[in-house]
């Protein structure tokens, strides 16, 4: 990153002018507070490297929650021409369709507080979490596996594990087209099958929140949000299946790169031209992993609803536990975008970024057509989370917004900083109850390890990409 030129162009945007091998400029969404943290890792260099890839359209973009990732920065967004661009597994990431969903309830804070710990403990016993966690109850056959890969959330409806109405509350209605199980390796399948209905490790979580501020009353009403309402956030992805799919295709593309004559500034950007079969094969496997992730989050939701039913001795329907929205974070999709006044098809890579469609977009179901797409942005364990909605300005980011707070510290550094402290006790003093699968998880995920989510959200809303609908604060969570 030494010698990298960065220019501030307004209070919410930094530009990296074309330099070295860049085919376009970089655009980083960061206010003055966020900017102070940008030079602590190599994420800006990764923005530059992405700008060197063939067929890139518009700028190489970074959201305000940017931090260093594999090849692409986490918080990175890039569009590549379907005609002469590329797809890169590193631009999606290892946890394909890691994403977050918000489950509504009709309960108020006072209904929950006396039973908060009991509810979270009940969920903890039902949802396996942590490294290598597997489900001992949920099983599926080879035929069901193929159906999950191709049907996504629709499979859950057929199995009676979620209601029909949930489908329109998913990005792309819970299924990416073009998934082909034959392009997913046997090893990926063997890793993934036992992990359906599990949380995983690291920053994956189930969190209970309360709405403490309504900012846009009209949109909040359309989203069925109200003050002091209890909500559930579920953050997990495709588990070992997605990890293996990514690993398989990174190695495959590294082997075929010489045939395409593509010169990379970083081998982690291994890619394939979108006009060739190598790219199509990866995209079909990636779509399958994404559909697997939709089902995984749906399974976890089913178990969470079941836990509430057991604690309250009522049906989840009577508690209003319907899905607000399910957002993908790590995905690559062919979408139509506007470039220099022309509509073109491009492969949009969102890695640690959320789609943010504005009002009127015909990809949205009628219920969200006049509000824009819900954008769920979780914070850290000790501070706020937000629900946003897409704005017209999201066109400049290929209809993308931030996905979280963004790490400031590596997990190793966080553990070192937390030595001698009890993160659990610190959270408890704030009225937050935390359960973790591993003793080190709370240290790795402590609030200090992340940017302040308010700075991230203020940047993305100030830039006109998305607007704030409501703010929540955590009551308790389960960490993987």
β-strands 433-436, 400-401 pairing: unpaired
Q: Which DSSP state fits 462?
A: H
**What is d(CA 416, CA 421) in angstroms, rounded to the nearest whole number?**
10
- Half-sphere exposure of residue 446: CA atoms within 13 angstroms, side-chain side: 24
Instruction: Pick the catalytic residue from 302, 403, 412, 428.
Output: 403
**What is d(CA 187, CA 133) in angstroms, rounded to the nearest whole number?**
17
Burial of residue 18 (number of CB atoms within 10 Å: 0-12, 13-18, 19+): middle
**What is d(CA 442, CA 454) in angstroms, rounded to the nearest whole number?**
21
**Quick check: helix, strand or coil at residue 115?**
helix
Strand partners, 28: 14, 62
Tokens 């403490």 found at: 212
User: Residue 66: which residues within 8 A CB-CB, separation 6 or more?
Assistant: 28, 30, 38, 43, 44, 47, 73, 74, 75, 76, 406
- 403 is known as an active-site residue: yes
3-state SS string for 406-427:
CECCCHHHHHHHCCCCCHHHHH
Distances (CA, A) of 473 to 301, 308, 430, 476: 20, 20, 11, 9
Quick one: residue 398, left, alpha or beta (phi over 0 = left, psi -120 to 50 = alpha)?
left
As given in the structure block, the two tokens for residue 2 are: 């030494």
105 touches 232 (CB < 8 A): yes
**What is d(CA 275, CA 279) in angstroms, rounded to the nearest whole number?**
7
User: Residue 108: which residues within 8 A CB-CB, separation 6 or more?
Assistant: 228, 229, 230
* Chain length of the chain: 480
Q: Catalytic residue numbers?
A: 403
């Amino acid at each position: 990153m030494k010698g990298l030129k960065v220019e501030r162009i307004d209070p919410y945007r930094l530009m990296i002018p074309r330099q070295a091998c860049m085919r376009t400029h970089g655009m980083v969404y960061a206010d003055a507070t966020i900017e102070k943290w940008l030079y602590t890792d190599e994420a800006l260099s990764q923005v530059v490297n992405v700008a060197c890839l063939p067929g890139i359209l518009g700028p190489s973009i970074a959201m305000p929650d940017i931090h260093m990732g594999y090849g692409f920065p986490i918080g990175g967004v890039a569009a590549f021409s379907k005609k002469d661009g590329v797809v890169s597994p590193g631009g999606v990431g290892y946890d394909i369709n890691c994403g977050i969903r918000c489950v509504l309830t009709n309960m108020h804070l006072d209904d929950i507080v006396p039973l908060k710990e009991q509810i979270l403990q009940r969920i903890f016993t039902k949802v396996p979490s942590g490294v290598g966690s597997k489900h001992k109850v949920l099983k599926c056959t080879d035929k069901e596996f193929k159906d999950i890969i191709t049907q996504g959330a629709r499979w859950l409806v057929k199995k009676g594990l979620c209601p029909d109405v949930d489908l329109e509350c998913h990005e792309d209605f819970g299924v990416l087209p073009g998934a082909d199980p034959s392009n997913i390796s046997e090893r990926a399948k063997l890793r993934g099958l036992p992990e359906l209905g599990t949380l995983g490790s690291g920053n994956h979580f189930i969190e209970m929140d309360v709405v403490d501020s309504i900012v846009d009353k009209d949109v909040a009403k359309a989203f069925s949000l109200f003050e002091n309402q209890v909500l559930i956030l579920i953050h997990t992805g495709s588990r070992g299946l997605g990890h293996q799919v990514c690993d398989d295709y990174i190695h495959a593309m590294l082997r075929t790169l010489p045939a395409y004559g593509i010169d990379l500034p970083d081998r982690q950007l291994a890619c394939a031209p979108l006009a060739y079969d190598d790219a199509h094969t990866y995209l079909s496997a990636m779509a399958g992993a994404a559909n697997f992730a939709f089902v995984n989050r749906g399974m976890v939701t089913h178990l969470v609803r079941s836990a509430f039913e057991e604690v309250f001795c009522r049906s989840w329907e009577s508690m209003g536990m319907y899905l607000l929205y399910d957002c993908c974070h790590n995905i690559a999709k062919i979408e139509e975008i506007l470039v220099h006044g022309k509509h073109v098809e491009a492969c949009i890579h969102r890695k640690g970024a959320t789609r943010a469609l504005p009002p009127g977009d015909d990809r949205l179901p009628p219920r969200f057509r006049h509000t824009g797409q819900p954008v769920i942005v979780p914070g850290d364990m000790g501070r706020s989370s937000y629900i946003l909605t897409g704005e017209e300005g999201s066109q400049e980011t290929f209809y993308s917004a931030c996905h979280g707070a963004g790490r400031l510290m590596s997990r190793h550094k966080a553990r070192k900083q937390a030595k001698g402290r009890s993160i659990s006790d610190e959270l408890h003093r704030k009225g937050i109850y935390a359960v973790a699968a591993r003793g080190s998880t709370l240290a790795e995920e402590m609030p200090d390890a992340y940017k302040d989510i308010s700075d991230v959200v203020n940047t993305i809303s100030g830039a006109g990409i998305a607007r704030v609908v409501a703010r929540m604060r955590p009551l308790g969570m389960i960490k993987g």
